[in-house]
């Protein structure tokens, strides 16, 4: 063992009590011997119990119907979220505004992330009303089992199936080993031919079959040829989904003005687009330490910080790239309109 490894070992051990998930970068999490004894599986089971415990204390945040849908399927879907006048005004706001944007390319898809800090939302009252409203905020918090502040972007997916390699997001995967929430408020219709979000209902729960699969995958994950898998975002193929006894995937080819909030511990993917397309929506994500024995106490909700996670996150990516003299994963493309072609 190298001296540096000895120095890092207390940090690696401390990560056991956090949401750390990389089998490749943490030799304790990636240990074949420890995972054969159930280390990864026990972490996942404890995280599920803690998440259930917190969520029971947050039941008033969502309706009984939404609670039942989440419990059964792993997602909440709401149609016709805004009235006709409000959704029209929101669309007009975002289409006629230039935003600071960051483009992230994966294969033949570019995902455009537009942070929405308070100073941006102040000029966009209809967008602000939705982003700060109870439905969007509380649905995210309930699914994530925390009342923390979510990270929120305007989100544009520009896909051209004739350009570049296959988008890796089209492979079914679980984001991490514990409950975590992602939300999409689709501003316009999402046709099936344009690769809608797809989710395997019920895959958010650690059934006996899922437990056996997680155990088996954890033993060899550190050396997986798939980098995402080795970093703790497990990939799953169609044959494996069948052996897990799960229901058929659901594609969210939905009309505009639809909100979907999903627990992305469950298996999900971006559908394969059959034609060039642009998908526009409001995106939110919320993930905290899965072992916390409380629902709140989020430092990111302090005055001056709340609502700025997206802005801070993109700033951190750019700073790290500059310090380490490498290309950032998310390229700052300047102040542009939503549908402008990507320069990357």
Give the single-character DSSP code of 274: S
Rounded-to-integer distance, Cα 153 and Cα 185, Å = 11
The structure's pTM equals 0.96
pLDDT of residue 141: 99
Rounded-to-integer distance, Cα 66 and Cα 35, Å = 36
Q: What share of the chain is helix, strand, coil (3-state, %, to 5)?
A: 40, 20, 40
Structure tokens given for 270: 């971006």
Per-residue pLDDT band at 1 (split at 50, 70, 90): low
pLDDT single digits (tens) 6-56: 789 999 999 999 999 999 999 999 999 999 999 999 999 999 999 999 999
Rounded-to-integer distance, Cα 286 and Cα 144, Å = 6
Rounded-to-integer distance, Cα 44 and Cα 19, Å = 10
pLDDT single digits (tens) 226-270: 999 999 999 999 999 999 999 999 999 999 999 999 999 999 999
Q: Is residue 75 part of a domain?
A: yes
Rounded-to-integer distance, Cα 122 and Cα 132, Å = 12
Rounded-to-integer distance, Cα 212 and Cα 241, Å = 13
Q: Is residue 91 part of a domain?
A: yes
Question: Cβ–Cβ contacts within 10 Å for residue 329, how many?
Answer: 12
Number of H helices and number of E strands within the chain? 12, 11
Triad 136, 141, 143: Cα angle to 5°: 100
Per-residue pLDDT band at 163 (split at 50, 70, 90): confident
Contacts of 68 (CB under 8 A, 6+ apart): none
148, 154, 178, 233, 267 from 174: Cα distances, Å = 22, 23, 9, 5, 5
Specify the pairing of strand 197-199 against strand 331-336: unpaired
Structure tokens given for 309: 């996670």
Instruction: Judge whether residue 60 has pLDDT over 90.
Output: yes
Range in 75-79, 160-164, 307-311, 340-344 the model is least confident about = 160-164
pLDDT of residue 156: 98
pLDDT of residue 3: 75
Calculate helix-pair angle for 134-144, 64-73, nearest 10 degrees.
40
Question: Cβ–Cβ contacts within 10 Å for residue 33, how many?
Answer: 8
Rounded-to-integer distance, Cα 138 and Cα 70, Å = 13
Domain limits for position 216: 3-288+299-336
Q: Is residue 332 part of a domain?
A: yes
Q: Is residue 232 part of a domain?
A: yes
Structure tokens given for 342: 């990507």
Residue keyed to tokens 């999903």: 262
pLDDT of residue 51: 99
- For 12, list phi and psi in degrees, rounded to 5: -60, -40
Q: Is residue 199 part of a domain?
A: yes
Q: Is residue 342 part of a domain?
A: no
The number of folded domains in the chain is 1
Structure tokens given for 171: 């492979």
Q: Is residue 111 part of a domain?
A: yes
Domain containing residue 212: CATH number: 2.60.120.620
pLDDT of residue 164: 81
Specify the pairing of strand 197-199 against strand 250-251: antiparallel
Q: Is residue 343 part of a domain?
A: no
């Amino acid at each position: 063992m190298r001296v540096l490894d000895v120095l890092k070992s207390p940090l690696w051990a401390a990560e056991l009590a956090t949401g750390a998930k990389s089998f490749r970068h943490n030799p304790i999490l990636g240990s074949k011997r420890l995972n054969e004894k159930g280390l990864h599986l026990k972490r996942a089971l404890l995280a599920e119990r803690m998440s259930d415990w917190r969520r029971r204390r947050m039941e008033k945040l969502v309706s009984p119907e939404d609670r039942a849908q989440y419990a059964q399927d792993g997602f909440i879907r709401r149609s016709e979220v805004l009235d006709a006048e409000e959704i029209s005004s929101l669309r007009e706001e975002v289409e006629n505004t230039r935003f600071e944007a960051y483009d992230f390319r994966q294969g033949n898809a570019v995902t455009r992330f537009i942070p929405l800090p308070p100073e941006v939302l102040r000029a966009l009252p209809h967008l602000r009303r939705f982003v700060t409203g109870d439905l969007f905020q509380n649905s995210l918090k309930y699914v994530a089992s925390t009342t923390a502040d979510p990270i929120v972007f305007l989100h544009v997916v520009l896909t051209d199936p004739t350009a570049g390699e296959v988008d890796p997001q089209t492979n079914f995967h679980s984001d991490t080993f514990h409950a975590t929430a992602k939300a999409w408020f689709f501003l316009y219709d999402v046709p099936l031919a344009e690769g809608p979000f797809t989710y395997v209902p019920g895959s958010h729960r650690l059934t006996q079959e899922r437990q056996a699969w997680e155990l088996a995958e954890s033993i060899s994950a550190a050396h997986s040829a798939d980098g995402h898998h080795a970093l703790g975002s497990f990939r799953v193929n169609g044959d494996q989904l069948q052996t897990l006894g799960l229901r058929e995937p659901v594609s969210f080819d939905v009309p505009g003005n639809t909100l979907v909030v999903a627990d992305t511990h469950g298996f999900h993917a971006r559908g394969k687009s059959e034609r060039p397309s642009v998908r526009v929506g409001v995106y939110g994500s919320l993930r905290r330490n899965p072992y916390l024995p409380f629902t709140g106490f989020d430092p990111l909700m302090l005055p001056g910080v709340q609502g700025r996670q997206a802005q801070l996150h993109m700033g951190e990516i750019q700073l790290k790239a500059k310090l380490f003299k490498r290309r950032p994963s998310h390229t700052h493309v300047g102040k542009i309109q939503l549908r402008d072609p990507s320069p990357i």
